[in-house]
Structure 1
């Protein structure tokens, strides 16, 4: 139903009562009917706005007129969020969820506290961010740099609509997150009050007298004329434009499929007509409608959608090596704890100018762990050893090699600056200072620092548990007899060993035949034992590619067919809430995809943040012509300051992995590499191998 009689546009607000005097950043509404546009209406808070909207709906229903009501905030969240909170993909169930929990009064509401509560369900760092209150809220970061989002950052429509904002931002310029959280409960109440009379686009068929529609005036309208409030002017312009829009044109704009996330009226949805592809004798030709996913896009996809999944516990420092810090470490004592001598020599007060100096020796000496009793008199020197605390009356030390020692005095030549050869208390780290940041993987050097700073316990994340399983009827265990067409499983031993070197806990889930029920059961078991799952084989789109098929069935397939060589078929999805990386079955491709895609993602899941391997520009010792379209990784090693490439790019030649010491990365574009040209070499050590 698209032949509406009345159009109303509402500019919403997530803030408090704005007072009697009309002002910006408040709630404004406008009605257009029968070619006439009424003056914009100022609504000071959501209670007033709800009552006004309710009266409008009742009046239009009584008059037998069809009403379209537009609101300038998202009706849904990025996919996956509704199910995570309500157990259902139904966005209207999410409306009910918010209505049951939002506390709203003209002068105050609990939106920031509820956002923090939601964030804590997902690790306490996202998806919501921006706390505008003076007090801190557990789990709600004040800035985007402090948060990680377990869900997509934007809806599909917001990736198309230039100038739109993410619903996760609750405060700040252009933020719409508060409007969503405070608007959905009001719309939910109106749906209930006028049960059976209201349809929500695009979630429901518009076959009822009232349609609720998402419209963003800011996407198409600029600044208001001088002297007019922009919000008031915009709702007037939208209401007028809708009332004058040809019903056929409006119907075409409403013809949108977005059952979970919702859509913004007026943003053109991507066409979904299916056309047969041209016949191409090319094993890399993609199915109709499927496009290459660039490497950087795939990496950004992982970085934006994943976050820490490991548990946190407090444990003694002794067990911290290789673990991820879950909180900043604060020094319990200074290092050095006291000012001390950096050398063996003689200490005294003050610097000395150029020339000869003779100082009598005070009785005694100062050594590390053996404090000198009493103060050193002015004009005298004291024997002092490396690491000894500076006694009172000493702030400068001269090296013993620069001193002539007499029976009861020393002689040396200046100049010597005051404070020479000494270390100040807290010069390295002061008590109360943050010594190590959350997300760091504890190293042997860190163990020394933690001990020196008096830290005995740490907040640590559990080690990430990664399940590994291989798929395919053709696989047998190494050493077992292989029948015709069968091969030993090379991927699983390789992947399990790589995970061990990365510092994770590998879980061996064995081999699975090409049987969908068997794979489903093994994935279920893997999800019980591990935080993340790696599979090899079955990630493409053939009849026996069951990994990608099962992820598609589960509605959790994220993306695949990466523009990378070797690799390309890479399934990314969720199984029972656990991330799944469906790696190619070819060993070389499996290793490269693990290093390039899984390694940084696993680091993020482990709580250590996104890692980028360090590469080095080194002259090539080979020649290669490269076509545009895919990023390529060559097995390579460095000899005599130049990078050698393996003799063949065939991804079935496993010996090239043992021969190599790293990878040469060639960009997405076309190129001709000649001997001596600089290329980017990434040592395996940069990945943690």
Structure 2
């Protein structure tokens, strides 16, 4: 079986959270046709329940099957239902809470109600965790104060779920009890509202148009880590992740997940199938699309400072690539979408750091003689036995220390006749020996998500026994030149035409950054011709770099087309060279419209596109390394714009290219980096320290 629609719900037991989206609030997400929509924020339970009721009614009316997955316990440990209602029926508990809970936007009676329930049991408990300033009869603040312990602390499904908390806990870190009390009334009303059109798994077979299930949004930690970006709200990302993953499960997957016997305690959907879910998430997962307003700068500033633009991009961009698993030998240069966890310690056992002889304990100053045991320890060929006290064994570098040995003396410091060894102390216990796990320990995070894997990283990962890693799929970057005047180098050009220098330069730049280059060719100054090129590029590419047509003139057709998408932003940058930057989304694909002059196009690509593309690819924001170098030139600069001068270092001082014209492409070839002059006015004299950024710091 499968479902047409997936609805995921992250519930909350707290009060109204206000109009602006916040963490620790109610979030929902809908996935249909294998694609998750943007998560929705609900300020309180009243708004969320109204939305749920309307959404479920829409699904029923449309004839679609829907799974509604709550991160919320659907039942209590065995015995509670009968003690509270006189029956083992979990739905009787739902109805009891629906009748008893008083819930408003700013207050509710969950703590008082828990105290009243506790009063029905002998002793103090099972609920605990009074978070109010006033004391509540029969409800202790700490779990250690309880005396009633006749009911299990957790359900079987909670005990099987790593890190799951008890539903008796109403406050404190990880408390879920308040969510349960405030969630069951909503579940009861949904069930009563939709009748036979709704079933609740696993208490009932999942064969109605609407199926309610409980799940834990902690079941896919690696896939969740891959989604998280700076400023993202975890609750929102969790709902989107699970909606997308559930929407892409196969009928066989669903059969495996739903094959659970019905008990009064219920079960967490997906528990026991975490590897399957992580695998499906890795295969299918693609981050949600960029928002249409991701490039919109605050109004009011005509000239945008470079730092403001960079801060805006860093805050609003996020990965756009899908995620996959690859073997380690295919992972060089790829960007991790999930942390790498050491499968075993390195080294896995204590071993020798040198060739020599192994024995136990420290040796004081003075001469020593130890008899040798028969045999030796070598890397991959351990000594089979225990070294007796007062004896030594021959050992080679990398060999595991045998039982009975913890110290190694170098063979150069020993004389031997093959039967015993003689040497002088002192020698510390543990000398020349490596401890197990002293480099990396099993279970340790050895590399974080968003890290680009280097050859040294592959060695590090392999040493811990990890053979596959979860990475982002390669970012596909399209490069397009625009202009009627452009001719491809090698073709025949008239006097009023120029050869396209930008496209080979930008293609090579993108390739040097490790992305897949999609050469989109050149486009004329004609919107009707340009539109289908962008349409095709949005399908082939994850991001598009264009040059030319990025300002606001009559022939600036990139800007004109982006203007109609509702995502367009024309940034007038306070930068020299490269004033105009046109940014927007074409069919959901980010477009960076660079200036047409080659120097300006390259400078803007290095300064703005490089860190932005890194984030879109799943990597970290990249800041180039800068160096303070004595100036070999003089210059007076006015206030208001940051300037980037083509430069190179000669005899310990930095020189700049003779011309600052942005059309002088030869200066890029002459230079080995850029001198960066600040936004404010400055006078540079020879010998003054200036900021130099080598092209290598820009990844070239």
The question of a shared fold, defined as TM-score above 0.5 by the shorter chain, is answered with yes
Superposition deviation, residue 396 in structure 1: 0.8
Runs of 4+, deviation exceeding 6 Å:
94-99, 102-110, 138-141, 143-146, 168-171
1:481 alignment partner in structure 2: 492
Superposition deviation, residue 358 in structure 1: 2.4
1:642 alignment partner in structure 2: 653
> Are positions 1:73 and 2:16 aligned together?
no
CA distance in 2, matches of 1:169, 1:347: 52
CA distance in 2, matches of 1:360, 1:149: 62
Tell me if structure 1 keeps the 8 A contact 2:559–2:570.
no
1:539 alignment partner in structure 2: 550
2:674 is paired with a residue whose SS is strand
CA distance in 1, matches of 2:225, 2:336: 21
Aligned with 2:408 (options 394, 397, 401): 397
1:574 is paired with a residue whose SS is strand
After superposition, residues 252-271 of structure 1 pair within 5 angstroms as none
CA distance in 1, matches of 2:302, 2:174: 41
Superposition deviation, residue 137 in structure 1: 5.5
Q: Deviations over 1:559-608 (max 9, x none)?
A: 41111111111111111111110001111111111111000000000001
2:312 alignment partner in structure 1: 301
TM-score normalised by the chain length of structure 2: 0.61
CA distance in 2, matches of 1:635, 1:109: 64
Superposition deviation, residue 544 in structure 1: 0.5
Superposition deviation, residue 656 in structure 1: 1.5
Superposition deviation, residue 523 in structure 1: 0.9
After superposition, residues 345-356 of structure 1 pair within 5 angstroms as 345-356=356-367
Tell me if structure 2 keeps the 8 A contact 1:149–1:306.
no
CA distance in 1, matches of 2:625, 2:103: 49
Superposition deviation, residue 133 in structure 1: 6.6
The 10-residue stretch of structure 1 (646-655 or 460-469) with the greater mean CA deviation from structure 2: 646-655
Q: 1:144 to 1:403 in 2, by over 3 A?
A: closer
Q: Deviations over 1:415-466 (max 9, x none)?
A: 2111111111111111121111111111111222222221122212110001
Superposition deviation, residue 291 in structure 1: 0.5
1:570 is paired with a residue whose SS is strand
> Are positions 1:424 and 2:505 aligned together?
no
1:603 alignment partner in structure 2: 614
Superposition deviation, residue 393 in structure 1: 1.5
Tell me if structure 1 keeps the 8 A contact 2:482–2:525.
yes
After superposition, residues 103-122 of structure 1 pair within 5 angstroms as none
After superposition, residues 35-434 of structure 1 pair within 5 angstroms as 73=19, 100-101=54-55, 134=176, 136=217, 147-148=228-229, 291-434=302-445
Tell me if structure 2 keeps the 8 A contact 1:16–1:107.
no
CA distance in 2, matches of 1:443, 1:509: 29
Superposition deviation, residue 345 in structure 1: 1.4
TM-score normalised by the chain length of structure 1: 0.62
Q: 1:579 to 1:331 in 2, by over 3 A?
A: same
CA distance in 2, matches of 1:572, 1:370: 62
Q: 1:494 to 1:107 in 2, by over 3 A?
A: farther
CA distance in 2, matches of 1:108, 1:296: 47
1:435 is paired with a residue whose SS is strand
CA distance in 2, matches of 1:526, 1:442: 28
In structure 2, runs of 5+ residues without a counterpart are: 1-10, 23-28, 31-35, 40-46, 57-67, 71-97, 106-172, 177-215, 237-291
Superposition deviation, residue 85 in structure 1: 5.1
After superposition, residues 437-476 of structure 1 pair within 5 angstroms as 437-476=448-487
After superposition, residues 433-582 of structure 1 pair within 5 angstroms as 433-582=444-593
Q: 1:372 to 1:324 in 2, by over 3 A?
A: same
CA distance in 2, matches of 1:356, 1:385: 23
Q: 1:369 to 1:15 in 2, by over 3 A?
A: closer
Q: 1:463 to 1:407 in 2, by over 3 A?
A: closer
Q: Deviations over 1:112-158 (max 9, x none)?
A: xxxxxxxxxxxxxxxxxxx98756457999x99994379xx9xxxxx
CA distance in 2, matches of 1:306, 1:453: 33
2:539 is paired with a residue whose SS is helix
The 10-residue stretch of structure 1 (453-462 or 537-546) with the greater mean CA deviation from structure 2: 453-462
CA distance in 2, matches of 1:505, 1:145: 21
2:580 is paired with a residue whose SS is coil
> Are positions 1:678 and 2:624 aligned together?
no
CA distance in 2, matches of 1:313, 1:107: 47
Q: 1:681 to 1:555 in 2, by over 3 A?
A: same
CA distance in 2, matches of 1:475, 1:346: 74
CA distance in 2, matches of 1:420, 1:86: 59
Tell me if structure 2 keeps the 8 A contact 1:539–1:583.
yes
1:622 alignment partner in structure 2: 633
Q: Deviations over 1:361-411 (max 9, x none)?
A: 222221112111211121122221111111112111111222233453322
2:272 alignment partner in structure 1: none
CA distance in 2, matches of 1:460, 1:562: 34
Q: 1:26 to 1:537 in 2, by over 3 A?
A: closer
- Number of aligned pairs? 464
Tell me if structure 2 keeps the 8 A contact 1:348–1:395.
yes
CA distance in 1, matches of 2:551, 2:666: 24
CA distance in 2, matches of 1:422, 1:535: 58
The 10-residue stretch of structure 1 (532-541 or 606-615) with the greater mean CA deviation from structure 2: 606-615
